Structure 1
Amino acid sequence: MKLRISVGESSLTGPRPRNEDYVGLVTPADAQLEIKGALLAVADGISGGAGGAEAAEMTIRTVSADYYATPDTWTIQHALDKVVQAANRWVLSQARKHSQMAGMATTLSMLVLRGQRYVLAHVGDTRIYRLREQSLQCLTTDHVWDRPDMRHVLKRAVGLDDQLSVDYAEGLLQTGDVYAIISDGVWAALGEAELHKILMLYHTPQLMAEHLTRQALEQGGQDNASAVVVRIDQLGQDHLTDMLADALSLPVPPKLAVGDTLDGFTVTRVLHDARISLLYQVKNAAGQLFVLKTLQPARAEDKASCEALLNEEWLGKRVVSQCVPQILPLTREQRTHLYYVMTWHEGATLQQRLDAGHHFTINGVANIGQDLLRGLSMLHRLNIVHRDIKPANIHLGSDTRLRILDLGVALNTTLPMPEQMENPGTPSYMAPELFDGKLADRQADIYAAGVTLYHLLTRKYPYGEIEPFQSPRFGEPVRPSRYRPEIPAWLENLILKAIARKPEHRFETAEEMLLALEHGELRPIVIPRTPLIARARLVKWQWLAIISLCVNVLLIYLLMVS
């Protein structure tokens, strides 16, 4: 089921010499509509300001184009904020370059409709109204000065200030909702009672928009009049696997052996036979090698496992980087079973190298750390938390390139995902706060990266090995130099900062940790030693009480023997 809307728009010049309003409508089809949604916007160039019309038009054109070019893994609000801030910088740069454009600025009100939700972005005094079950509500607040003689003077607009503050809001859609984005030339001339009447009068959004603008001018409006009206005819899916429901109906393939063929891919090796999933090395008709991932036949009726595999494929397709294997863009028609195919790379995981007895040098681990953190920072910029960073999920190819594997439990908030385990990582690499029920975030990935570097250097774990379902207690980590005294202080302190018990004591971002690794001993990290009292988790008065008790016991003993 897809989101269906009806849209109408109208923009009239009125008594002004030119129209400084600009409206934008983008209603993509199919997958683009499901992932990014429909975008509707109205901008009103500041009246009397040179370049107001240009500011309004270019802002909407820029935002409309750039929003659909942002990564699919970004949230709508994050993507809108990025493109609006970029538009603000562009308007400011034009005003500074061209003296005749000094003061150019514009209001902006946008509505993105996707699935069963809306997200609005607003700055200025254009307004967004919603008519729901015959009740009219204004969803925005005018950014004007709260004085009778200055209520038409904007406090905020695109192009007014280097630091643009935009209002964002979101909510659920209902079938039959009508949303109207209107410039001040409409709402100021008509008033809410007349707006309500017109929106109730017509069923077609185009007639609503035309009547709003025409009526505003007929009632003496002295400004440009613009309106965009949209009606929700049918709600879409609000769940990623609902969008992939067609692929979800594919059967899980039977267990394959070397030489078996599936949709043109011939199995050459069984790479991994786990409790839930199967990985095969396969080759196509041209002899190119790939990796095919599917589920164990016993999981064929397990909807959660099937959804997780589809989510992993969807997420992997949106990470276009040399830091991860690339997913082949196979269509539903090219597959007869439930699986996905990704690129094959010669080499081995870091865990396989450890198991084979490989000794990692200090320089080698530092280089691995830099590549790992570049990959992590790329994932984090795409709003993806990996949640299972460990040597077994880090592949070092024969081309010397490091790749992060397995997005099967990765977390992304762009679209609601199926229910999964809250924190499905490997216990020894899980941050302390995850054992208290906190959901994994970027800080947890940084912690896991620190434990990975520690383990590569020492083959030990900083807080000891943690077994599944164990409730560990985190004291002071063992310094890696205890196992390898040749580890330099700058690298040891860097790892200790990454694996700190408290998230606020770790690096804030993967980029910060990467920078520390690149600078090395030139800018070493200083880790203050924890006092004995803090290490024992006792406050000062408790220590004083213990010492006082010991002294009293000693005095009593001396009295008794004297």
Structure 2
Amino acid sequence: MPARLTLSIGQHTDPGRKAVNQDFHGSYVPREPQLSVKGAALAVADGIGSSDVSHIASETAVAAFLEDYYCTSDAWSVKTSVERVLAATNSWLHAQTQQGQGRYDKDRGYVCTLSAMVIKSNTAHLFHVGDTRICRVHAGALEPLTVDHRVSLSPGQSYLARALGVDAHLEIDYRTVSLQPGDLFMLASDGLHEHVSAAEVQEALSAGADLDEAARLLVARALSNGSDDNITVQLVRVETLQAHDAGELLQQMAELPFPPQFEPRSEFDGYRIMRPLHGSSRSHVYLALDLATGESVAIKTPSIDLRDDPVYLERFLMEEWIARRIVSPHVIEPVVTERKRSYVYLVTEYIEGVTLAQWLRDRGKPDLDAVRDIVSQVSKGLRAFHRLEMLHQDIRPENVLVDRTGTARIIDFGSASVAGVMEMTPFSPGGGGATLAGAALYAAPEYFLGEPGTVRSDVFSLGLLAYHMLTGQLPYDVRIPQAKNRAAQRKLVYTPARGHDPSIPAWVDAAIEKAVSIDPHRRHEDVSEFVFDLHRPNHAFLARTRPPLIERNPVAFWKGMSFVLLLALVVDLALRR
């Protein structure tokens, strides 16, 4: 079994010489599988002394961070999850400030500083606003990992430049730190970090029986050194790190054997195989009957020929994890059951329909309205992926199912990328960190440069889908997979869709051309923008193609010209006098 993340944590707080402790701290180390998926979290908050309610702000900030972070989508990256939680917390604190005395004096509002850390896999994610501080403890030294947001006016006089609850908009520092076993970090309020030295931290760590005792010794040392503020410290030491293995971390099914090739009427795990639906070198899909419910389901099994390919197995196992998190009428749904499994397989709803590839063969080239309809539906499914920081990465006619009602659904998540999982498998630019997951002909050009995908990569594939539906061809033919460097890609030229079918409106062709631009920065930022441009001319296109005024309205043009000439004549006469 791979190593798991284990931490030692010690923490202590004291009001010091003040009557009220406006500091607040907390930590949470969940059990598996949440520890692998979301990580462990720690936070220290410090209220401002001029406010009578800042202790509420501190407690709210830490409690909301620790509770709400673990309620965010498992598919979101740590950065997205924490930033959204803190933005919501800041909005609430700022609203309370606006309703009280802080509306006229921010120093009396619901305001606090915050330093937070999420330790996930082999990385520490740091979030910071204010003058609390996170340091890495080395032998005889403290390495600051955050920068105080405090502006000095004169010796002994300064003010906070940033804090939670001050403004409606929150700007928070974020950075990541790679971890090694034995790494030790300290989170502290200014009541402590301004009054203890690196040597005193080492002394406390050496004298303390454990990290809790070391934290109490540090608070006592800060008091004896003259600290007149609330004092809070957290110490966290990395004991062991988990292995970079997303498949084993997220799917316990990895320990199950691959299933055999099933025959009709064979039964297993409460299912009866009715007939094969699809087969390839990578997987087999069967129509099956759920004997417990009487419902028809589709069962997808991996190819036994690829059982020794760990990358293939990891992607197959990720399919169910992804399917359970996507909620959209345009994405196929998994069938969730608590039955014990005998093999590795995926169960989804059974939909009577055909793939878009077969739909096109049966109907021939569809009209523009039909293309818009299918592309719009697929885009809604893609947006469900993108909202959870997932990329499908394999949109093509074979991976879109059209049922009897004309509803299009995205199927096959074997190539999908999940930001929250990618954090567990660091990407090395130019070092093979990105691999081509989907079909080469529908893959965005950046994949062939070894770059990771973005939302614009899925936009590219959706643009190819629209082009293929309208023309039966591809805009770059088969040249993109062959262009594996930037020089070769710059030579690729878009073949206008109107060259295949002159009835296609020029502005529709322009929308597709933008979606399938070789340079991702020239594409639409989101699939919804592309769909919008398919339904109405883009303003940039209208401005580029709008005829000159003399052609659109000759009378207005000559009236304007006459006015300009008259004005020039008047000016000339005035200058002659």
Same fold by TM (over 0.5)? yes
- After superposition, give the CA deviation of every residue in 1:94-149 in whole Å (9 maximum; x if it has no partner): 11122356522111001111222211111111112223466542322211114543
Matching residue within 323, 329, 341 for 1:316? 323
Matches within 5 A, 1:29-48: 29-48=31-50
| Cα drift, residue 150 of structure 1 | 5.8
Alignment RMSD, CA only?
2.7
| Cα drift, residue 46 of structure 1 | 1.4
Match of 1:504 in 2: 521
**1:339 partner amino acid:** Y
Match of 1:481 in 2: 498
Say if 1:397 and 1:524 are closer, same or farther in 2 by CA, change over 3 A.
Answer: farther
Match of 1:216 in 2: 222
CA distance in structure 2 between the partners assigned to 1:232 and 1:505 by the alignment: 44
Matched position secondary structure for 1:351:
helix
* Stretch deviating more after TM superposition (142-151 or 27-36): 142-151
Match of 2:95 in 1: 93
1:11 to 2:20 alignment: no
Match of 1:166 in 2: 172
| Cα drift, residue 355 of structure 1 | 2.0
Say if 1:180 and 1:40 are closer, same or farther in 2 by CA, change over 3 A.
Answer: same
- After superposition, give the CA deviation of every residue in 1:388-416 in whole Å (9 maximum; x if it has no partner): 11111112233543221111112223223
TM-score by length of 2: 0.84
CA distance in structure 1 between the partners assigned to 2:266 and 2:507 by the alignment: 52
| Cα drift, residue 240 of structure 1 | 0.7
Match of 2:567 in 1: none
Matched position secondary structure for 1:159:
coil
Matched position secondary structure for 1:107:
strand
Say if 1:11 and 1:466 are closer, same or farther in 2 by CA, change over 3 A.
Answer: same
User: For the Cα contact (< 8 Å) 1:7–1:231, is it kept in 2?
Assistant: yes
CA distance in structure 2 between the partners assigned to 1:322 and 1:367 by the alignment: 14
1:360 to 2:377 alignment: no
Matching residue within 442, 460, 465 for 2:455? 442
**1:304 partner amino acid:** V
CA distance in structure 2 between the partners assigned to 1:10 and 1:26 by the alignment: 15
**2:353 partner amino acid:** G
* Stretch deviating more after TM superposition (432-441 or 487-496): 432-441
Match of 1:463 in 2: 476
CA distance in structure 2 between the partners assigned to 1:200 and 1:10 by the alignment: 17
* Stretch deviating more after TM superposition (301-310 or 466-475): 466-475
Match of 2:531 in 1: 514
**2:78 partner amino acid:** I
**2:233 partner amino acid:** A
User: For the Cα contact (< 8 Å) 1:346–1:397, is it kept in 2?
Assistant: yes
1:225 to 2:238 alignment: no
Say if 1:144 and 1:421 are closer, same or farther in 2 by CA, change over 3 A.
Answer: closer
Structure 2: gaps of 5 or more residues: 427-431, 546-577
Say if 1:262 and 1:152 are closer, same or farther in 2 by CA, change over 3 A.
Answer: farther
Say if 1:527 and 1:281 are closer, same or farther in 2 by CA, change over 3 A.
Answer: farther
Match of 1:49 in 2: 51
1:301 to 2:308 alignment: yes
Say if 1:511 and 1:24 are closer, same or farther in 2 by CA, change over 3 A.
Answer: farther
User: For the Cα contact (< 8 Å) 1:185–1:225, is it kept in 2?
Assistant: yes
**2:515 partner amino acid:** A
Match of 2:23 in 1: 21
- After superposition, give the CA deviation of every residue in 1:160-192 in whole Å (9 maximum; x if it has no partner): 334432222222333333322111111223233
Match of 2:387 in 1: 381
Say if 1:192 and 1:47 are closer, same or farther in 2 by CA, change over 3 A.
Answer: farther
Match of 2:439 in 1: 426
CA distance in structure 1 between the partners assigned to 2:370 and 2:541 by the alignment: 20
How many pairs align? 527
User: For the Cα contact (< 8 Å) 1:133–1:177, is it kept in 2?
Assistant: no
CA distance in structure 1 between the partners assigned to 2:200 and 2:348 by the alignment: 58
User: For the Cα contact (< 8 Å) 1:134–1:200, is it kept in 2?
Assistant: no
User: For the Cα contact (< 8 Å) 1:497–1:527, is it kept in 2?
Assistant: no
Say if 1:261 and 1:41 are closer, same or farther in 2 by CA, change over 3 A.
Answer: same
Matching residue within 371, 376, 384 for 1:370? 376
Match of 1:68 in 2: 70
Match of 2:267 in 1: 261
Say if 1:304 and 1:45 are closer, same or farther in 2 by CA, change over 3 A.
Answer: same
**2:500 partner amino acid:** Y
CA distance in structure 1 between the partners assigned to 2:394 and 2:343 by the alignment: 27
User: For the Cα contact (< 8 Å) 1:116–1:174, is it kept in 2?
Assistant: yes
The alignment-based identity, stated in percent, is 30
CA distance in structure 1 between the partners assigned to 2:156 and 2:84 by the alignment: 30
Match of 1:490 in 2: 507
CA distance in structure 2 between the partners assigned to 1:432 and 1:7 by the alignment: 46
**2:35 partner amino acid:** L
CA distance in structure 2 between the partners assigned to 1:67 and 1:515 by the alignment: 34
1:289 to 2:306 alignment: no
CA distance in structure 1 between the partners assigned to 2:374 and 2:146 by the alignment: 49
Say if 1:302 and 1:503 are closer, same or farther in 2 by CA, change over 3 A.
Answer: closer
CA distance in structure 2 between the partners assigned to 1:510 and 1:393 by the alignment: 17
